[in-house]
Amino acid sequence: MPESVQLKINGVPVRVPLGSTVAAAVLLAGHSAFRRSVSGEGRGPLCCMGICFECRLTIDGQQHVRSCQLLCREGMEITLGE
Amino acid sequence: MTSRIYDVLIIGAGIIGAACAREFARAGLRIAVVEAGFGGATFAGMGHIVVMDDSEPQFALTRYSQQLWRELAPELPPDVEYMPCGTLWIAADDQEMQEVRRKHEFYAARRVPTEIFDPRALYEAEPHLRPGLLGALLVPEDLVIYAPCAARFLLHQAQAYSCDLYLDKVLQVRDHAVILQNRGGLHAGAVINAAGTWAPELTPGLEMRPRKGQLVITDRYPGFVRHQLVELGYLKSAHTLTAESFAFNVQPRITGQLLIGSSRQFGVQTNAVDNHIIAGMLARACHYLPELSRMSAIRTWTGFRAATADKLPVIGKCPGRQHLYLATGHEGLGITTSLATARLLLDQFLQRAPAIPAEPYLPNRVMETAHA
């Protein structure tokens, strides 16, 4: 059984421990701005329990997914808001 | 407390009251607007400025008003989110495709440009629609606005001429005055009841029914939908007078948000969200736009349309009253027809000739006939 999974963040391969949330993986990779607000400011996880919606990002082409509520899967493609 | 005298006092600062305030103030009249809480249909509906063809009077009013909106467009501030996106009336079967051709001929005869889309043109215009549709009618001059900000803009324009706004509840309408809950009496030469679904409370005998509507608003998905999309089955839904109906009707907003509708319910008094209606409406929307099912909804609006039996608004002097005018009963077309409503009412007030016949909208037809 693998102890870790590999995913891509903005095209860059990242390996994280099995059971990590996507939010944790993106933070581990050193990103704090997960998306851009309407006025262009960087936004990242605040509550980490699915309430604040600040950690939304695009996963496998699906926009506005709450990254704190999703575990990493092998081969996931994460796109942070430009 | 001094009591100011106004030429015209308008009850309601929704889109109809705001449009009337602007129109009458521009004519040099001193206006007051009384608003009890900014919670009416203007704040719960789509801002679809749409030409309709249910009847000649409905066509005349929607087309006239749409042209007034198009004239006003250069003055609208950005927050009104004016978007000339057009409407696509979508045909899913042969019967609906016949309706596409009928509408095309109807509009062509009245010099409204439209275009018939075959499936190839439809999927090029809206690639996320489900496969198997037969075509659509594009009405390119239809457009979308954000109605609450449009109402605020109209009110601000009125205030720049001469208009006072009172946040208060009207308890009673008398000749030359209204009685307010907090402020007491307010005097005016004439009163316009533009209180939407609350209008009959202030003008007993006015026959209208509240028709509840619910909308789901999504997160921002820019470019997913490019036109206001309405199924032609909408007509079957909107025209029935049964208790409940819904239809596929999706509106793109400049922000990328989608407004998903639409539903119609009679006999419901509370503004709570009805989950079975929302579920039915969303299922219908996902049937046409399958990818919607993976998107996020962020809020739900509910509200009440002021519905008359003949589906035409009530615009004009109240029978049996010298100084009371009515501007209500617009059901789902108040945003569209607000500007024309205000213009027709001012024409009557000043005894000018209107640009379109005003008779179909006069109030006598919806007043209880106790006096007849």
Output the DSSP codes for B42-93: GGTS--EE----SSHHHHHHHHHHHHHHHHHGGG--GGG--B---EEEEE-S
> What is the pairing mode between strands B143-144 and B48-49?
antiparallel
The answer, for A62 touching chain B at a CB cutoff of 8 Å, is: yes
Read off the pLDDT of each residue in B261-273 and give the average, rounded to a whole number. 91
Burial of residue B358 (CB within 10 Å: 0-12, 13-18, 19+) is middle
- Token pair listed for A51: 């309430």
Q: Which tens digit of pLDDT belongs to each residue from B30-78?
A: 999 999 998 899 999 999 999 999 999 999 999 999 999 999 999 999 9
Contact flag A64-B296 (C-beta cutoff 8 Å): yes
pLDDT of residue B179: 96
Which of B128, B218, B294 to substitute to test the interface with A, most A CBs within 10 Å? Answer: B294
B2 and A CB contact within 8 Å: no
The residues, any chain, with a CB within 8 Å of residue B3's CB and separated by 6 or more, are B185, B186, B187
Tens of pLDDT, residue by residue over B309-343, are 999 999 999 999 989 999 999 999 999 999 999 99
pLDDT at A2 over 80: no
Q: Are B65 and B338 in contact (CB under 8 A)?
A: yes
Using the Cβ of B296 and the Cβ atoms of chain A, whether some distance falls under 8 Å is answered with yes
How high is the pLDDT of residue B165? 97
A73 touches B at CB < 8 Å? no
- Check the CA dihedral B292-B294-B298-B299 and report its sign: positive
CA A33 to chain centre: 10
Task: Find the closest chain A residue to B218 by CA distance.
Answer: A64
For domain B5-45+147-207+310-371, say whether CATH 3.40.50.920 is its number. no
Q: How close B154 comes to chain A (CA, Å)? A: 26
Residue B243: pLDDT above 90?
Answer: no
Alpha-carbon gap, residue B60 to B52, rounded angstroms: 9
pLDDT of residue B368: 84
Mean pLDDT of the residues in chain B: 94
pLDDT-derived band of residue B240, with 50, 70 and 90 as boundaries?
low
Structure tokens at B308: 């008359």
CB B305 within 8 A of CB B41: yes
B276 touches chain A (CB under 8 A): no
The residue of chain A with its CA nearest to that of B298 is A53
The one-letter amino acid at B340? A
Chain A residue numbers touching B220 (CB-CB < 8 A)? 38, 64
Report the CATH superfamily, name and number, of domain B87-140+209-307.
D-Amino Acid Oxidase, subunit A, domain 2 (3.30.9.10)
Query: Are B283 and B264 contacting, i.e. CB atoms less than 8 angstroms apart?
Result: no
Check residue B2 and give its pLDDT.
Answer: 46
**Among B81, B254, B296, which would you mutate to test the A interface (most chain A Cβ atoms within 10 Å of its Cβ)?**
B296
Residue A1 identity:
M
Give chain B positions within 8 Å (CB) of A64. 219-221, 295-296
The predicted pLDDT at position B1 comes to 42
Q: A64 and B294 in contact by Cβ < 8 A?
A: no
What whole-number percentage of chain B has pLDDT above 90? 90
**For position B193, what pLDDT does the model report?**
98
How far apart are alpha carbons B154 and B164 in whole angstroms?
Answer: 13
Categorize the per-residue pLDDT at A81 as very low, low, confident or very high, splitting at 50, 70 and 90: confident
State mean pLDDT over B244-250: 91
ipTM over 0.95: no
> Is there a contact between B21 and B163 (Cβ–Cβ < 8 Å)?
yes
Q: Two tokens at B167?
A: 């946040």
- Tell me the CATH number for domain A4-79: 3.10.20.440
User: Which whole number is the average pLDDT over B6-18?
Assistant: 97
Helices (H) and strands (E) in chain A, counts: 1, 7
Q: In this structure, are residues B334 and B15 in contact, taking their beta carbons and an 8 Å threshold?
A: yes
B206: Cβ–Cβ under 8 A, 6 or more apart, which residues?
B199, B200, B314, B326, B328, B329, B363, B366, B367
Token pair for residue B185? Answer: 């009496």
Q: How far, in Å, CA of B321 to CA of B182, rounded? A: 26
Beta bridge partners of B11: B34, B193
Residues of A with Cβ-Cβ distance to B219 under 8 angstroms: 56, 63-64
Is the per-residue pLDDT at A7 higher than 90?
A: yes
Q: Which residue of A has its CA nearest to B296?
A: A64
A39 touches chain B (CB under 8 A): no
For residue B294, give the nearest of A38, A56, A62 by CB distance. A62
Residues of B in contact with A35 (CB under 8 A): none
Strand pairing category for B135-139 and B324-328: unpaired
CB half-sphere exposure, B93, CA atoms < 13 A: 2
CB contact under 8 A, B220 and A64: yes
Pick the closest to residue B67 from B113, B25, B11, B6 (CA basis): B113
In angstroms, the CA B324 to CA B203 distance is 9
B322 at interface of A, judged by CB pairs closer than 8 A: no
For the cut 90, the answer to whether the pLDDT of residue B372 exceeds it is: no
Q: How far apart are CA B326 and CA B341, in angstroms?
A: 10
* Per-residue burial over A42-63, b = 16 or more CB atoms within 10 Å of its CB, e = otherwise: ebbbeebeeeebbbbbbbeeeb
Question: B221 — contact with chain A (CB < 8 Å)?
Answer: yes
Q: Where are the domains positioned within chain B?
A: 5-45+147-207+310-371, 87-140+209-307
Domain residue ranges in chain A: 4-79
- What's this model's pTM, rounded to 2 decimal places? 0.92
Among residues of chain A, what percentage have pLDDT more than 90? 91
| Chain A CA closest to residue B293 | A62
Residue B145 corresponds to which amino acid?
I
The proportion of chain B whose per-residue pLDDT surpasses 70, expressed as a percent, equals 95
Q: Is A37 on the interface with B (CB under 8 A)?
A: no
Strand order, beta sheet including A77-79: A12-17, A4-9, A77-79, A56-59, A62-66
A38 touches B: beta carbon within 8 Å = yes
- pLDDT grade, residue B220 (50/70/90)? very high
- Contact between A64 and B255 using a beta-carbon 8 Å cutoff: no
Q: pLDDT-based confidence at B21, cuts 50/70/90?
A: very high
Q: How far is B357 from chain A (nearest CA, A)?
A: 46
User: What's residue B245's pLDDT?
Assistant: 87
With a cut of 70, say whether residue B371 has pLDDT above it.
no
Mean pLDDT for the stretch of residues B111-138: 98
Contact yes or no for A63 and B255 at CB 8 A:
no
Which chain A residue is nearest to residue B256, measuring alpha carbons? A38
> Is residue B264 a contact partner of residue B41, using CB atoms and an 8 Å limit?
no
Q: pLDDT band at residue A38, thresholds of 50, 70 and 90?
A: confident
Higher pLDDT, B114 or B322: B114
Contact indicator for B312, B57 with CB cutoff of 8 Å: yes
Contacts of A63 in chain B (CB under 8 A): 219, 221, 295
